[in-house]
Amino acid sequence: MWLELLRDFFYDLRTHRTRALLTLTAITWGTVAVVLLLSFGEGLGTQMMNGLLNAGNRIMIVASGETGKIYEGLPKGRRILMVEEDVDILSQVISSIDMISPQYRKNITLTYGKFSVTTECEGVNPGFEEMRRMYPAAGGRFLNEADVAQQRRVLFLGIEIAKEIFKDEDPIGKVVLVDGIPYTMIGTMQKKVQTSMNNGPDVRRAIIPFTTFRTTYGNRYVNSIVVRPTDPSQQERVKSELYRVLGRKYRFDPSDERALRIWDFIEGEKVSRRIGLGVEIFLFGVGFLTLLIAGVGVANVMYVVVKERTREIGIKMAVGARRSYILAQFIAEALLLALIGGTIGLLFSYGVVSIVRMIPSEEGAMQFLGKPILSTTTMLLTTLILTLIGLFAGLFPARKAASVDPVESLRYE
């Protein structure tokens, strides 16, 4: 039965080459539209998420604020200034904290030979590497516990500012003056894309141990505290604990959200994921409508085929062909048209995606658009849609064909 169906299908293709070619082109174009839109949409969403995580890897930055409520007889408008001791208190009291670091900030002048440049410097601990994705390039390293404990004068630089200072030289081990004080270079940061930043991109940042920063510049208060929860889903509980613990120490109402300013990257990640999903759904809708129009074209072609072969259908039914055979014949033809066109479209899309992924995207707009991702989910979803479109495009013409009266069809011209 199936060999006969295939033989009829390929006979019809040879007989009506132009019609078959146009139908396959429509299906192929619809498939390309769906696959490429989904691939570029997924690539954009992934790049947006990476850009956010590169700025803050599921962290919360807690900064000083001013009280907005009267509490225990104390007036509102009091400035809350945090110190290093708060880092130890929070890490001991709140068990849901995975990583925590004090953060000092200051604009500094870096000098190497005759070259000088001003940039922002941060005094932090080793956990900052993971929390802010400041991964070192080959040959270097980030801060370690010994650097902090011994208050070493060591320096870690963002890749862009390191290139400005050292040009083509290997920076590791070089001595750089930080506001006139010699520091030893221990590493440079890998290049990364940020879609969110605080006082400039990390690729232009200077990093030193927080203990060295404090003793050098004499800061009494930290600019902020960076906190990473053990479980991102516990962000709200950790946030309420921050208000409770610091509220007890600095005597402010734990419900007073103005007392602390919290930049919540975890919430930003949730919003970004929803935006990315919305973009993907929109792009899928556009591509699906294109493919649906191609499916309508297949259905119209199958109706024409039924009309042209009415006499043939009648003869088959007159000699004993079952209704199920007639149904299977036209459904199979529609499915084969859809799947052949879809296969061509998938192969073409794979080629386009592969070529685009080879294009360098380190500079310009492409670094924010990201590279398209042709995932297994996209391919399976497209195949399912093609199957359904082929099934429905063939079902209704097939039902019409199967309902033909053999006697009347033999009179059909």
pLDDT digits (tens, 9 = 90+) for 128-149: 999 999 999 988 999 999 999 9
Does residue 305 form part of some domain?
A: yes
Which range, 92-101, 303-312, 363-372, is most confident? 92-101
Q: Does some domain include residue 299?
A: yes
**What number is the average pLDDT over the span 203-214?**
95
Question: What is residue 268's predicted lDDT score, i.e. its pLDDT?
Answer: 87
Residue 218: pLDDT band by 50, 70, 90 thresholds? very high
- pLDDT for residue 9 is more than 70: no
Confirm whether pTM is higher than 0.85: no
Residue 84's closest CA among 152, 148, 154? Answer: 148
pLDDT of residue 201: 87
Both 114 and 131 in a single domain? yes
Residue 263 is assigned to a structural domain of this protein? no
Q: What is the mean pLDDT of residues 203-220?
A: 95
pLDDT at 163: 93
Which domain, by its residues, includes 243? 66-96+231-258
* Same domain membership, residue 221 and residue 159: yes
- Based on the fold, state whether residues 274 and 400 are members of the same structural domain: yes
Q: Provide the pLDDT for residue 412.
A: 47
Residue closest to 277 by CA, chosen among 377, 389, 133, 383: 377
- Which range in 10-19, 21-30, 71-80, 336-345 is most confidently predicted, on average pLDDT? 71-80
Q: What is the pLDDT, as a whole number, of residue 34?
A: 86
Residues 38 and 81 in one domain: no
User: Does residue 37 lie in a domain region?
Assistant: yes
Question: Is residue 176 predicted with pLDDT exceeding 80?
Answer: yes
Distance CA 44, CA 369 (A): 5
Residue 387 lies in a domain: yes
What does the pLDDT average to over 255-270?
A: 91
Q: Is residue 59 part of a domain?
A: no
Same domain as 197, residue 117: yes
Residue 355: CB atoms within 10 Å:
10
DSSP β-ladder status, 224-229 and 60-64: antiparallel
pLDDT bin (cut points 50, 70, 90) of residue 371 is confident
pLDDT at 299 exceeding the cut of 70: yes
Instruction: Tell me the pLDDT band of 320, cut-offs 50, 70 and 90.
Output: low
7 pLDDT higher than 80: no
Residue 292: which pLDDT band, with cuts at 50, 70 and 90?
Answer: confident
CB of 106 closer than 8 Å to CB of 195: no
Q: pLDDT higher for 73 or 118?
A: 118
164 and 240 assigned to the same domain: no
Q: 156 and 75 in one domain?
A: no
Asked if the structure places residue 83 within a domain, the reply is: yes
> When comparing pLDDT for 367 and 101, which is higher?
101
Q: What beta strand segments (E) does 129-180 contain?
A: 154-157, 175-178
pLDDT in tens, 377-405: 888 888 888 888 877 777 777 676 666 65
Whether residues 179 and 291 share a domain: the answer is no
Q: Of the residues 229, 244, 278, which one is the last residue of a structural domain?
A: 229
- Give the rounded percent of residues in the chain with a pLDDT score beyond 70: 83
Q: Give the residue with greater pLDDT, 334 vs 117.
A: 117
Phi and psi angles of residue 179, each rounded to the nearest 5 degrees, phi first = 50, 40
Residue 28: the pLDDT is 86
Would you place residue 410 in the very low, low, confident or very high pLDDT band (cuts 50, 70, 90)?
A: low
What is the predicted pLDDT for the residue at 321? Answer: 62
34 and 103, same domain (yes or no): no
Domain count, the chain: 3
User: What is the pLDDT at residue 10?
Assistant: 60
% of the chain at pLDDT higher than 90: 45
Whether 304 and 181 map to the same domain: the answer is: no
In terms of domains, do 275 and 399 share one?
yes
Inside any domain, residue 49 = yes
> How do residues 227-258 score in pLDDT, each as one tens digit?
999 999 889 999 999 999 999 999 999 999 99
Residues 308 and 399 in one domain: yes
Question: If you average pLDDT over residues 24-52, what whole number do you get?
Answer: 85
Tokens of 145: 């516990």
Model confidence pLDDT, tens digit, residues 337-352: 788 888 888 999 999 9
Retrieve residue 90's tokens. Answer: 């929070």
Nearby residues of 403 by Cβ (< 8 Å), 6 or more positions away: none
